[in-house]
């Protein structure tokens, strides 16, 4: 399959000009998305949101016991376990 020639990305004088350009142009004319790589920003502070969750008392007690064994707060352990499970599910796809 023959690749189409990409247009050069123009130089912008401001963020507003940049934003306006990309709002009105197709990026596939300027970028080869097949060569895109996933970006990682390890120093960004993740935002958090408080939630309420109802758990059986016995489950919460078991979680607290495990957290005490690891010498970490039980809410932190819950976050770690949830993150591990989400990552595991994402890797399975």
Domains of the chain: 1-37 (no CATH), 39-93 (1.10.1220)
Q: Residue 32 in contact with residue 5, Cβ under 8 Å?
A: no
Place of tokens 């979680």: 63
* 4-37 residue pLDDT tens: 789 999 999 999 999 999 999 999 999 999 889 9
Euclidean distance between CA atoms 67 and 2, whole angstroms:
57
Average predicted confidence (pLDDT) for the chain? 91
pLDDT confidence bin for 2, thresholds 50/70/90: low
Tokens found for residue 34: 């097949």
Q: Which of 44-48, 54-58, 70-74, 75-79 has the weakest average pLDDT?
A: 44-48
At residue 1, does pLDDT exceed 90?
Answer: no
Place of tokens 């919460």: 60
Q: Phi and psi at residue 47, in whole multiples of 5°?
A: -80, 150
Helix segments in 1-93, DSSP class H? 15-24, 57-70, 74-92
Per-residue pLDDT at 27: 93
């Amino acid at each position: 399959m023959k690749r189409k020639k990409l247009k050069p990305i123009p130089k912008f004088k401001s963020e507003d000009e940049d934003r306006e350009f990309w709002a009105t142009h197709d990026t596939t004319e300027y970028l080869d998305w097949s060569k895109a790589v996933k970006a990682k920003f390890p120093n960004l502070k993740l935002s958090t949101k408080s939630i309420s969750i109802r758990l059986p008392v016995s489950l919460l007690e078991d979680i607290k016991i495990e957290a005490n064994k690891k010498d970490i707060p039980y809410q932190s352990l819950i976050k770690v376990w949830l993150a591990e499970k989400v990552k595991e599910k994402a890797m399975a796809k």
